[in-house]
Chain A
Amino acid sequence: MSENPLRDAIEQAIKENEVILFMKGTPEAPACGFSARTVAALQALNAQFAAVDILPDPRIRQELSALSGWPTIPQLFVRGELIGGCDIVTEMYESGELAETLGVEPPADAPAAAADPGAPQSPPLSVENRLG
């Protein structure tokens, strides 16, 4: 453990969840239009993703942005890599790149059932696993 357990928890969450969205609010109740649009793009693809609400603790956002070099929320990570915020995710959704990056088929099909088995609840950071 380093001296920064919150940053460790964020790094771990990014590592352990193939698709993870840091957002304001929750996928059911987004607290910002940009977060809502990003969730909508993921859900339109039936993508499975973990979500972290950054609002409960302002330090989450500070640490996340320090880590990612990205100043705004939401932030989408796929396989440990920052994909971008709302604008980039929306553009990629529209162009079909998002489905490709996520390795999902654009909808028409029923959502896949199997979820990533483990999104452990790290104490300083609440990660929820979602089925899209």
Chain B
Amino acid sequence: MPTADEIKQRIEAAIPGARAEVEDWTGGGDHFRAVVTSPAFKGKTRLQQHQMVYAVFGDEIGGPIHALSLKTQES
């Protein structure tokens, strides 16, 4: 089961220039909340920005990561 810190590191490693703040929402290790800022979000819709973050985790979303609540911002 991933930790909030692992999720943060994976987002920051995968999306250019990204900074992520991730918290374990329920303390149960499967519902996370992330605020992600990246210059790579420029010109993308909010939907596309969220898809970029979800793409980092592929099938793990809905699996071991039950939910990843997102807020994305261009930086």
Identity of the chain B residue whose Cβ is nearest the Cβ of A82 in the assembled complex:
B47
Q: Are B50 and A87 in touch, CB under 8 angstroms? A: yes
User: CB < 8 Å: which of A34, A72, A83 contacts B47?
Assistant: A83
User: CB < 8 Å: which of B50, B59, B61, B68 contacts A88?
Assistant: B50
CB distance from B62 to the nearest CB of A (A): 5
A73: which B residues are within 8 A, CB to CB?
Answer: 62
Please report the C-alpha to C-alpha distance between residue A74 and residue B57 in the assembled complex, in whole angstroms.
Answer: 18
Please report the C-alpha to C-alpha distance between residue A65 and residue B54 in the assembled complex, in whole angstroms.
Answer: 12
A70: which B residues are within 8 A, CB to CB?
Answer: 51, 54
Also in contact, A69 and B51, with CB within 8 A (given A87-B69, A87-B70): yes
Is B15 interfacial (CB-CB < 8 Å)?
no
User: CB < 8 Å: which of B46, B54, B71 contacts A71?
Assistant: B54
Q: Classify chain A: how many residues form its interface, as a range.
A: 10 to 19
Q: Are A34 and B51 in touch, CB under 8 angstroms? A: no
User: CB < 8 Å: which of B50, B62, B67 contacts A84?
Assistant: B50
CB distance from A100 to the nearest CB of B (A): 14
Q: Which of A34, A65, A72, A86 has the most CB of B within 10 A?
A: A72
Identity of the chain B residue whose Cβ is nearest the Cβ of A69 in the assembled complex:
B51
Q: Are B61 and A72 in touch, CB under 8 angstroms? A: yes
Please report the C-alpha to C-alpha distance between residue A61 and residue B66 in the assembled complex, in whole angstroms.
Answer: 14
CB distance from B37 to the nearest CB of A (A): 15
- Which B33-55 residues have C-beta < 8 A from chain A? 46-47, 50-51, 54
Q: Are B51 and A87 in touch, CB under 8 angstroms? A: no
CB distance from A57 to the nearest CB of B (A): 15
Q: Are A72 and B46 in touch, CB under 8 angstroms? A: no
B70: which A residues are within 8 A, CB to CB?
Answer: 87
Q: Which 6 A-B pairs have the closest CB atoms?
A: A71-B61, A71-B54, A87-B70, A84-B47, A71-B62, A87-B69
